Structure 1
């Protein structure tokens, strides 16, 4: 319903860039939320399979170093959670305080007279619920998806730890050779690490396929929102904030919206960057173990692992845009380019 009334308003004001930019802000965010909810519905079984597999592995980790890795990534995800929470609360608060071009908080065209009771009360309640629930779902789904990717990162880092410690508690003699009993033990450890590596890569691949389309929608929407938000900030004229408090609130709203959307894009690009690094780290971990003490078959096995790690796990949008820090900078540049075009058209 929220999307319909905003689309109707967008059609009604078509041609007025200022009003269209204002309407587009929440409309495109709602479209992104809808795509994420549909992804959860249609990919629920696969996502839960990934989560359950990750949970089993992380809960069974009893090595001190492994527990530190899990705690580190958990702390990092919690920090993003706190930053993102602050931006959502900040933006929502000043959105309610700011000046709007329509009677309500959000531009919308209802199929009834919203200026008279009871239409006014219905429209007001509808808009308040729309803002709260849109922000709530957007926030929680983003954190949920980011946590799933972080779980895959944990699994890959634990595989790297297993490879580094492949010869732990096995003394190296003067000739740098291992006994047949030690070779058997190392072979078992190596097979276990290979199995963990395979399942971790499968989980990362499943995550990529589950999130690929929704991330493409998110990136497209984010570029539009960043562009229109910057445009809204450019057209707000502030002489003295103590004389025009409403404009001041409007500027803070747009700044918070811009920061929140940029942080949302950065959240997935950051996870994609470190997912790739965690996958590539496995090759370094295999090289860091005392491979020179191993037999020829074990060395060949390690070489195969290192070769496979050269094709890292990635997070993509639409299957053709790899999400990482470099791509994040490209997205911000594209948003600025669209903003300058929009500003020139307006002038």
Structure 2
């Protein structure tokens, strides 16, 4: 089921993620340019837009983290059950499940960028670094 969701949504999520990052960068740039003009109404609008876009990216990352955690929990639960006391056909089924669960399920954007909380942290760090760089560049 998770693999089917991954196949269907990975391109859509990648496009949405890239769109959110472009809008976030634009909103941060507009915050920098309007901050000096003391147009606080626009700063509030752009700031709330940035927070909303970060919230969307966070939700995608949270779903990826939950999928990964639950797949690992399922794998450990299946392994720790008393499979060795089951009849042979049931043991083969358990072996099949364990073989399929060797690699944790990840929710990706475009089949190459894993959406999890670690990568969300990296996205936030990158945009804050970009924001700081642009702020210093515009002040000179």
Q: TM-score range by the shorter chain?
A: 0.7 to 0.9
Q: Which of residues 72, 76, 100 in structure 2 aligns to 1:308?
A: 100
Decide whether the 8 Å contact of 1:269 with 1:328 is kept in 2: yes
- In structure 2, do the counterparts of structure 1 residues 237 and 314 end up closer, same or farther at CA, with 3 Å as the change threshold? closer
Partner of 1:131: none
What do the CA deviations read for 1:97-117 (whole angstroms, capped 9, x no partner)?
xxxxxxxxxxxxxxxxxxxxx
Q: Which of residues 175, 187, 211 in structure 1 aligns to 2:9?
A: 211
Q: Which of residues 4, 7, 32 in structure 2 aligns to 1:234?
A: 32
* TM-score, normalised by the number of residues in structure 2: 0.80
Q: CA deviation at 1:283?
A: 1.2
Q: How does 1:102-117 map to 2 (within 5 A)?
A: none
Decide whether the 8 Å contact of 1:286 with 1:306 is kept in 2: yes
Decide whether the 8 Å contact of 1:228 with 1:339 is kept in 2: no
Q: How does 1:134-153 map to 2 (within 5 A)?
A: none
Partner of 1:192: none
What do the CA deviations read for 1:199-254 (whole angstroms, capped 9, x no partner)?
xxxx3222212222222222222222222222322333479xxxx7xx33222212
Tell me whether 1:255 sits opposite 2:53 in the alignment: no
Q: Distance in 2 between matches of 1:248 and 1:225?
A: 19
Larger RCO (CA within 8 A; separation ≥ 6): 2
Partner of 2:62: 270
Tell me whether 1:329 sits opposite 2:121 in the alignment: yes
| Displacement over 6 Å in runs of 4+ | none
Partner of 1:298: 90
Which structure has the larger Rg over C-alpha atoms? 1
Q: CA deviation at 1:269?
A: 1.0
Q: May I ask how many residue pairs the two structures share in their alignment?
A: 139
* TM-score, normalised by the number of residues in structure 1: 0.36
Q: Distance in 1 between matches of 2:16 and 2:134?
A: 21
Q: CA deviation at 1:292?
A: 4.4
Q: Distance in 2 between matches of 1:338 and 1:225?
A: 14
Q: Distance in 2 between matches of 1:260 and 1:279?
A: 29
Q: Distance in 2 between matches of 1:294 and 1:342?
A: 63
What do the CA deviations read for 1:170-211 (whole angstroms, capped 9, x no partner)?
xxxxxxxxxxxxxxxxxxxxxxxxxxxxxxxxx322221222
Decide whether the 8 Å contact of 2:35 with 2:43 is kept in 1: no
Q: Give the secondary structure class of the aligned counterpart of 1:236.
A: helix
- In structure 2, do the counterparts of structure 1 residues 335 and 237 end up closer, same or farther at CA, with 3 Å as the change threshold? closer
Cα RMSD between the aligned structures? Answer: 2.5
Q: Distance in 2 between matches of 1:211 and 1:336?
A: 28
